Structure 1
């Protein structure tokens, strides 16, 4: 019998104006995207409440446990962009060792390599001379009374986020 190990269920990138810039689900198509969009929005108040006590870029650690299965962890860059990783505590199968190890715990430090890799990918995106981070802020549409928010469309960034989400596991030290 194979045990279960925590796995990333969702990675979200939220702009400094609290607008969603990117959401990746793992595995793609298995989970409802709208549910994770709501979950990402629910953690914004937690970021705001903790923000006065933080300086520069910070690992916010566990933001909230959604239920016994899902937990949300956060990181804020020095520019105010937020990375959120939703972990499914029963997410992936681990090879059987003949023993049933039960639930595998997760420490905040286990996610640091994933957050650092996400930050590196985002810095790479910012270094692209054709990428304008202000293009992704929520601006009123002058022709209508609605707001527009554009998503990050860089294939390189999206594939790097996908790689991080698929390769991460507890105990991985670099991605």
Structure 2
């Protein structure tokens, strides 16, 4: 199951971080922060090889003993990071991609809100609800 979902701004500061085990929230902040170097490395290597058409899904950024960290970058360089428990071998690459697509669509819908200023922390209830549904649906599956 996904234990942490985060949205990172172009300038590498967190816009949104949601964790399921709230007692380890600081640990997930560190995990997300440390994966940003890997994201930048993957984005720069992809942009050098392919000029205009690049894959938004970055795949597995790095595994730890307990978690696997996956990344996704939008065309505007906003980063999505999902941390998944390593013990959950049921999640396949296609399911992770689907989670990122849902997250990207929800982020796009949230940006269309005229009362949201881009670059501010995300406080949208509908965005938060969708993220919780994604995390809980992975638990129930």
Q: Could you tell me the TM-score, scaled by structure 2's length? A: 0.86
Query: Which structure 2 residue ranges, 5 or more long, are not aligned?
Result: 48-52
Say which is worse superposed, 157-166 or 33-42, in terms of deviation: 157-166
CA-to-aligned-CA distance 1:123-157 (integer Å, 9 cap, x gap): 110110111113x2xxxxxxxxxxxxxx2111111
Equivalent residue pairs, number: 134
Which has the larger helix fraction?
A: 2
Match of residue 42 from structure 1: 34
Alpha carbons 1:57, 1:78 under 8 Å: kept: no
1:89 equivalent in structure 2: 86
Structure whose CA Rg is larger: 1
Question: Can you list the C-alpha shifts for 1:60-79, whole angstroms capped at 9, x where unaligned?
Answer: 00000022x20000000111
SS of residue matched to 2:87: strand
- Identify, as 1 or 2, the structure richer in strand: 1
What's the C-alpha RMSD, in Å, of the aligned pairs?
1.8
1:26 aligned residue: 20
